[in-house]
Structure 1
């Protein structure tokens, strides 16, 4: 990667959040270091406001591909073979205005780093979600980030709402998101980053920050998500990209939460549906018929 001026692309896979995406593209125009291109892969053409996209001051491209987060991200990767860095943002992740500037500094100054994930000021995915005004207010109220310095933490994997990768090893080794993890693709971010890990360090940086709204619109059903909570880690264990220890902790923590909270569920979470999905996956595992793709039949 050329040290002086790497090419940085922002990739956004989106579904059913036209207004949020338009606001996000507008916010990206305030970056102190603009990404060289913005690539958007929607589920449907109507998911993108072409007028707002056309106002962005750098080149943009809308690409189409199969439905599902891993497939959409792979379609974006297919357009980045001449670039140096890819940053994946969720359509409801709003980045600090210095995010791309700090990212560039980090990758140029630390050639041993292959992947990085940022720090969340707030994560609406862990609660009822945030609206755009709440998220942007939190972002504005935070002091300006100070630049990429000695704030790095070694990390197990990247968090899909905001994660960046050095593209050279990704392209040279043909690393793709696993499309056997359909739809929402739960844990596809961890799987991808762990397959990149042999080629450099994976870190978390406090200098790369933003707000994840965690909007519930467009999410997978409770039963399907609950099935994925079990079937996806088991699949990744067999594949060799996730450790037994990490997967077991992940699975049993989710099962316990779904059992405990099914009696008094949060209004924004279908706990009974998730628990049903957990049990269906466990039954399928016992029968030897489990597969992440089974959610398409539920």
Structure 2
């Protein structure tokens, strides 16, 4: 990859890279999408991957069953099937991607990237050999507002592409937390790192755990070199009680594992516990606050009984 240009980080952690005219050699970019029950969303994402200014070398869909796939899937799309669970599905896609890529991208199935997202990733990694992982700019995130429609996401992406100044240097800052909806890794740095399959179902905080593993290999950054909209579609997500349980147990488990800082875990657990209980008074129609509170207390009970195992969420009824 190009190495003539350098990435410089200011004391505040903001980088101002020079932009090369040509990316040489062109990296092989593999995209992994783990999904269940979202065939429509996969189809919409694929339509945006088809018009990238730098085409992906391969696209891997990791699903549970054929009904998870959109009709008329192009023959060059790779499909891997197996039991559901975000960490398991991502690992199956990762195993396939490692043998055919220089960069591995994980997109959520409801993420809509800008048209030059992959090109931005390629430039970033060409400019900075020390960067091993990056997460991009999320223009809008529908997770906390019940989701964003496809048309809304499309309008946001188009407006961003029209208004931004492409010649403007990208900003880069160090981070210990990549956002799982859009993150990219240097394949050579992954090695034995895998998503922790002890985190079942939606794998809450699996992105932070993976970041904690790979940041030992080099710099992990947040950047506006690539961008998109995370729609936050509710369909297919972990339900209230299970998520509430994971909100308590998973951070403590990751602290003990060494991939999450204790202060981060304390803030995360406290924030979610308080939010769930305060908003019981006026719960959002798209969030099961009662279920989350029930799960929170079950998690606390298990901690008091010294049962800190994320997989116990599978026994909840």
TM-score w.r.t. structure 1 length?
0.95
Moved more, 74-83 or 261-270: 74-83
The verdict on how the C-alpha distance between 1:11 and 1:230 changes in structure 2, with shifts beyond 3 A counting, is: same
Listed as ranges, the gaps of 5+ residues in structure 2 are 3-23
For the residues of structure 2 that align with 1:141 and 1:150, how far apart are their CA atoms? 18
Cα distance change of structure 1 residues 238 and 79 upon mapping to structure 2, 3 Å threshold: same
Shift of 1:222: 0.1
CA–CA distance in 2 between the matches of 1:225 and 1:120? 23
Match of 1:31 in 2: 52
> Residue in 1 aligned with 2:15?
none
Please name the residue that 2:285 is paired with. Answer: 267
**Superimposed CA distance per residue, residues 37-61 of structure 1 (whole angstroms, 9 cap, x where no aligned partner):** 100001221111251434xxxx320
Is the deviation greater in 139-148 or in 161-170?
A: 139-148
Pick one of 174, 190, 204 that aligns with 2:222: 204
Equivalent position of 1:183 in the other structure: 201
d(CA) in 2 for partners of 1:9 and 1:151? Answer: 24
Superposed CA offset, 1:210-266 (max 9, x none): 001100000111000000001000110111111110100000000010111011101
1:228-267 pair list within 5 angstroms: 228-267=246-285
Local SS of the residue matching 1:5: coil
Kept after mapping to 1: 8 A contact 2:41/2:109: yes
Correspondence for 2:11:
none
1:63 aligns with one of 74, 80, 95: 80
1:278 matched to 2:299? The reply is no
Q: In structure 2, the residue corresponding to 1:267 is in which secondary structure?
A: coil
* Residue of structure 2 equivalent to 1:157: 177
Contact 1:148/1:207, CA 8 A, preserved across alignment: no
What is aligned with 1:44?
A: 65
Q: Give the whole-Å Cα distance in 2 for the aligned partners of 1:126 and 1:210.
A: 17
Q: Give the 3-state SS of the residue equivalent to 1:181 in structure 2.
A: coil
Residues 125-172 of structure 1 deviation map (CA, whole Å, 9 limit, x = unaligned): 12111111111111112135526834001112100000000111213x
Give unmatched runs, 5+ long, in structure 1: none
Q: Which residue of 2 aligns with 1:193?
A: 211
Q: Which of 155, 164, 177 does residue 137 from structure 1 map onto? A: 155
**Contact 1:130 1:214 survives alignment (8 Å):** yes
The answer on whether the counterparts of 2:170 and 2:224 sit within 8 Å (CA) in structure 1 is no
Q: 2:111 aligns with which of 93, 103, 124?
A: 93
Runs of 4+ with deviation above 4 angstroms: none
User: 1:224–1:241: structure 2 CA closer, same or farther, 3 Å change rule?
Assistant: same
- The total of aligned residue pairs comes to 292
Asked whether the equivalents of residues 93 and 212 of structure 1 are also in contact (C-alpha less than 8 Å), the reply is: yes
